[in-house]
Amino acid sequence: MNKHYYVAIMAGGIGSRFWPKSRTAKPKQFLDILNTGKSLIQWTFERFASFIPEENIYIVTSDEYADLVAEQLPQIKKENVLTEPSRKNTAPCIAYISYKLLQKDSEAALLVAPSDHIILDTEAFKESCLKSLEFVSHIRALVTLGITPTYPNTGYGYIQHDSMSVADGIYKVKTFTEKPTLEIAKTFLASGDFLWNAGIFVWQVKNVIKAFELYQPEMNELFDNEKQHFNTDEEQNAINRIYPLCTNISIDFAIMEKADNVYVLPSSFGWSDLGTWNSAYENMEKDYLGNAVAGDNTIIIDATKCLVNSSPNKLVVLQGLDDCIIVDTDDVLLICKKDKEQEIKEYVAEVKRSKGDTYL
């Protein structure tokens, strides 16, 4: 294993689209959404630990989830869990880990990934990650892993790349496009030079910091002014001073869509961002009527194409429903049509308006 290779797993989100299973106190990355026996963050850590030294794997999360990380990943050192005092999207998170690592290892090559993605082909994933890390170790490049699309998905961002590669399977990025309409997504798929944006990034930390200097000078100055405190007992105090002054912005908008040295590695490793209950349904085993059940205490009678996520402490008997999401927790029961899942955030907002934060 290369001692200059590092990973930052971003684990600060609240996963509101997986309500009522995902709650503010325990969001989806800490849950076993697919009934596999392990949480999403545990699977993510294990994937990276197979080819990155464990001491080089960092978790960046909200300060309210530090105990959950320690509970679910007891093998990780306390100093490798970086806590953010507020949610400011991915750019400040990446600036934080980058500045921290630069003070420790000037040759550090960093891979940044979300904690809640599904990856089925771990060997292909490892190969893509190591190829990207090797590439950025020798060239001033910001790399993103692009997923070869299998259908015209309208819920993902897209990356367009040049037709000629600059290295083995790596291409210069031409454009980033936010979630398209179905018709546009179909043209993207037909063109052959568009990929899904997986939100997985690779670079040397010194090069991403140069990008912050160029494209986010105000944010860069905040971290640069406090850099002497990183990897000391004063680090958390420094972060607590920095974060209230940081812009709430994603790394895509802050850096990737502006920089001129962005590259993509087209990849296929059975990826899903597991962003919605429908994406969970697609990744679960189903019975002969198309029902996907997470829970060992459910009886289904005359129902089809339903997703059921229930507690083992309660018997759930389901009859006569089709194409529904049924999520049963100790204090909330959600039943909605699968084609209405994009409205779950609206349901959560209505719950907050009428019931306060009790069920969030």
Q: Mean per-residue pLDDT for 124-149?
A: 95
Tokens of 72: 């679910």
pLDDT above 90 (res 314): no
SS3 145: strand
Q: Mean per-residue pLDDT for 224-237?
A: 96
Tens-digit pLDDT profile for residues 182-226:
899 898 988 888 999 999 999 999 999 999 999 999 999 999 999
What is the rounded distance in angstroms from the CA atom of residue 344 to the CA atom of residue 340?
Answer: 7
pLDDT of residue 342: 81
Give the up-direction half-sphere exposure of residue 84: CA atoms within 13 A in the CB hemisphere.
26
pLDDT above 90 (res 35): no
What is the rounded distance in angstroms from the CA atom of residue 202 to the CA atom of residue 142?
Answer: 6
Percentages of the chain per state (helix, strand, coil), in multiples of 5 = 40, 25, 35
pLDDT of residue 28: 93
pLDDT of residue 275: 84
Q: How many Cβ atoms are within 10 Å of 29's Cβ, its own excluded?
A: 32
Please tell me whether the overall predicted TM-score, pTM, comes out greater than 0.95 for this model.
Answer: no
Q: Mean per-residue pLDDT for 127-149?
A: 95
pLDDT of residue 254: 96
Lowest mean pLDDT among 2-11, 76-85, 146-155, 284-293: 146-155
Domain boundaries, the chain: 5-272, 277-355
pLDDT band for 165, please (50, 70, 90 cuts). Answer: confident
- C-alpha angle 199-113-274 in degrees, rounded to nearest 5: 65
Q: Which fold has domain 5-272?
A: Spore Coat Polysaccharide Biosynthesis Protein SpsA; Chain A (3.90.550)
What is the rounded distance in angstroms from the CA atom of residue 110 to the CA atom of residue 69?
Answer: 21
Tens-digit pLDDT profile for residues 319-331:
999 999 999 998 9
Beta strands 170-177 and 262-267 are antiparallel
Q: Mean per-residue pLDDT for 4-30?
A: 92
Greater model confidence, 168 or 359: 359
Tens-digit pLDDT profile for residues 76-94:
999 999 999 999 999 999 9
